[in-house]
Amino acid sequence: MINLFGVINESIQYVKGIGPKKAEKLNKLGIYTIKDLLYYFPRQFEDRSVIKKIAQLEDEEKVTVKALITNIESYTPKKGMTITRIDVKDDTGFAKLTFFNREYIKNTFRVGDSILAFGKVKKNGRFVELNSCELEYLSTSPKNIGKLVPVYPLSYGITNKDIMNTVRMVFENKDIKIPEYMPEYLLKKYRLCGIDYAIKNIHFPKDKESLKVALYRLIFEELLVLQLGLFMYKGGNSNEKGILFKRDQRLDEVLESLPFSLTRAQNRALNEIIDDMCSEKVMNRLVQGDVGSGKTVVALLALAECVFNGYQGALMAPTEILAQQHYESFTETFEDIGINVELLTGSVTKKQKEGILHRARDGEIDILIGTHALIEDNVEFKNIGLVITDEQHRFGVRQRGKLSSKGTSPDILVMTATPIPRTLALILYGDLDISIIDELPPGRQPIETIAVEKKKRDKVYNSLVRREVDKGRQVYIVCPLVEESESLDITSATETAEEIKRDFFPDLRVGLLHGKMKPSEKDAIMTAFKNHELDILVSTTVIEVGVNVPNSTLMIIENAERFGLAQLHQLRGRVGRGKHQSYCVLIYGSNSEVCRKRMGIMEETNDGFKISEKDLEIRGPGEFFGTMQHGVPELKVANLFKHMKILKTVQQEARIIIGEDSTLDFKEYRGLKREIESKFKDKIEKDITMN
């Protein structure tokens, strides 16, 4: 250990007491170097700092006692078991400490010793006992008792003490210096402690305040590295030159021909989009709006603007049902204007497809709507100017990118109803500008939601379903699986449809829709439902996204406990799309606390943002990010939800930094840049090549 800066990058084996065997185990925890060890943070702390008098002890509490040993004895009640009992006293009373199979204690401690003991209190009248204690001599610098003690995530036979001792060894080595990579001015501006202090106190905090100070610095740093990394790697194309559109008068005519006027939020989003299109920068924009907020019409208007400027446009949707629906509403609006819209999905015939491909290449098609079929290699355009992805969370980053590669720098718009708190969206989509449609069209009444236990299911069907159908409304019933599975008590769509026709409503028109049906069959059913030739549609989650039948007012979800909150919210969004009061009934078959909590949230609010925050709270951001398939480095101390306030501060600062030095090559940022590079190392390749 000669080179001061090199030291922390040395192998963990250089630490005293770490042989090849232990090193190997540490490796399994991802600890290879001394630096890895120092950044292996405790999961939580056990608060052993509260020292109590014996007379004040309460049953069941875990606490530290300072006392004097008055007696020690050891006995063997049966073979292989030794019990050691130590009597202690302080100036308020007496207590017994009990140890199982820890004979060495008898040889380590003596009557008359002053000790610190940490353990769980068992109190019975005046009889006080401390079980499975940790014991230490009272000294001026107690090691593990009388303070906040780190609890590390463990496995592979590594104990908490192993890690504590190893970290302690490292700290005792005066050569160890952790280089400070945070620029001096940031430390000052945000009153952050130095890295040395932070690392020492995250492992062995002097007290609660020091821990707080250390944590703040580390959270700030982690978020800054994450945000700067995302800006640096994903924001690269922000200066790319694109098509210069001109706002066209005819757009106003389309606006006037709509059966409604746009909400303020829709107008704002549209203006932001048109402004982007009319600038020479390539548009890269996310439209985020809760279910039913009216994103489709915004997409329609943007595409109209594109076509008026002489370019083609494309709209990709995740399901055939949705693509079909968009196609129908677009043709209705564009028929008289002479904009030619066509539909390309997996279910068009070979011959039809050839025609479509031909017309797209020739520029005869103005707007091509479709599913994944749009990104197949043989789909080419004459001059594509705008590509839109609906419900973009259903597509990977790669697919999104593939659609835009069908032209030279077309503008890009992606739409999502997955409500992500704004700051999170910024983190996730660091490369996108965001428009938020945070207002529902007027006249919508909030959907009334109730959650009921399974045993009340019959009642729901007999009263609610009947009532809505009698009023001339339509009903969705969603089930988790297609076919009955024997092992799980899950109501399947097929069975439910049968049952409903047979046992509940022989007089009503009941349809069935699921993902295993042929596209043409799905189509026929959806069309029938739309035309009110069906009263009840029993379905799997294929209707989750986008489907729009304003006359349906009741959504029943079977086995609601099987769905995520965001998904329940999406499903619920299939009703409440017209002027009629709508209802959602969640039928659940679990009595767990988590289930009741989740159902409660759904009953309480219709606000997708709130729901997604709660979801995040319950599931934790790790899983949240997991499902978002995004290559962001794992966070150790920061929690994007809990530390939203710090995140906001960090984002502001990161914008300033990137604005001044987009590649972080200034001398003061070099340390930070190295951190970013190492954290993003393997993530970059995966994610960036997709873009």
Q: Which residues contact ligand ADP by CB under 6 A?
A: 260, 262-263, 266, 289, 291-297, 417, 441, 546, 548, 550, 577
Residue 166 contact, options Mg ion, ligand ADP, none, Cβ 5-8 Å cut-off depending on partner type: none
Residue found under tokens 């746009």: 262
Candidates 178-186, 439-447, 542-550, 599-607 — which segment interacts with Mg ion by CB under 5 A? 542-550
Residue 297 contact, options Mg ion, ligand ADP, none, Cβ 5-8 Å cut-off depending on partner type: ligand ADP
Q: Give the nearer residue to ligand ADP in terms of CB position, either 331 or 548.
A: 548
Query: Shortest approach of ligand ADP to residue 546 CB, angstroms?
Result: 6
Q: Give the nearer residue to Mg ion in terms of CB position, either 319 or 651.
A: 319
Q: Give the nearer residue to ligand ADP in terms of CB position, either 34 or 440.
A: 440
Q: Give the nearer residue to ligand ADP in terms of CB position, either 15 or 262.
A: 262
Closest by alpha carbon to 236, among 584, 532, 663?
663
Q: Give the nearer residue to ligand ADP in terms of CB position, either 74 or 267.
A: 267
Residue with smallest beta-carbon separation from ligand ADP: 294
Q: Give the nearer residue to ligand ADP in terms of CB position, either 430 or 608.
A: 608
Q: Encode burial over 377-411: b for 16+ CB neighbours within 10 A, e otherwise.
A: eebebeebbbbbbbbbbbbebebbebbbebbebbb
289 part of the interface to Mg ion, by CB under 5 A: no
Query: Shortest approach of ligand ADP to residue 417 CB, angstroms?
Result: 5
Burial of 350 (0-12, 13-18, 19+ CB in 10 A): exposed
Closest by alpha carbon to 34, among 58, 55, 13, 62?
13
Query: Shortest approach of Mg ion to residue 474 CB, angstroms?
Result: 19
546 part of the interface to Mg ion, by CB under 5 A: yes
CA dihedral over 364, 365, 366, 372, signed as positive or negative: negative
Query: Shortest approach of Mg ion to residue 495 CB, angstroms?
Result: 30
Query: Shortest approach of ligand ADP to residue 653 CB, angstroms?
Result: 34
Burial of 478 (0-12, 13-18, 19+ CB in 10 A): buried
Query: Residues 623, 625, 631, CA angle at the centre, nearest 5°?
Result: 130
Candidates 63-71, 364-372, 394-402, 541-549 — which segment interacts with Mg ion by CB under 5 A? 541-549
Residue 480 contact, options ligand ADP, Mg ion, none, Cβ 5-8 Å cut-off depending on partner type: none
Q: Encode burial over 657-672: b for 16+ CB neighbours within 10 A, e otherwise.
A: bbeeeeebeeeebebb
CA separation (Å) from 578 to 444, 553, 575? 7, 8, 8
294 part of the interface to Mg ion, by CB under 5 A: no
Show the DSSP H helices in 47-116 as ranges: 104-108
DSSP string, 354-381: HHHHHHHHHT--SEEEESGGGGSTT---
Residue 266 contact, options ligand ADP, Mg ion, none, Cβ 5-8 Å cut-off depending on partner type: ligand ADP
Q: Greatest CA span in the chain, whole angstroms?
A: 100
Q: Give the nearer residue to ligand ADP in terms of CB position, either 263 or 496.
A: 263
Query: Shortest approach of Mg ion to residue 326 CB, angstroms?
Result: 8
Query: Shortest approach of ligand ADP to residue 524 CB, angstroms?
Result: 21
CA separation (Å) from 181 to 6, 12, 167, 186, 332? 15, 22, 21, 10, 59
Q: Give the nearer residue to Mg ion in terms of CB position, either 370 or 633.
A: 370
Which residues bind to Mg ion, rule: CB under 5 A? 546
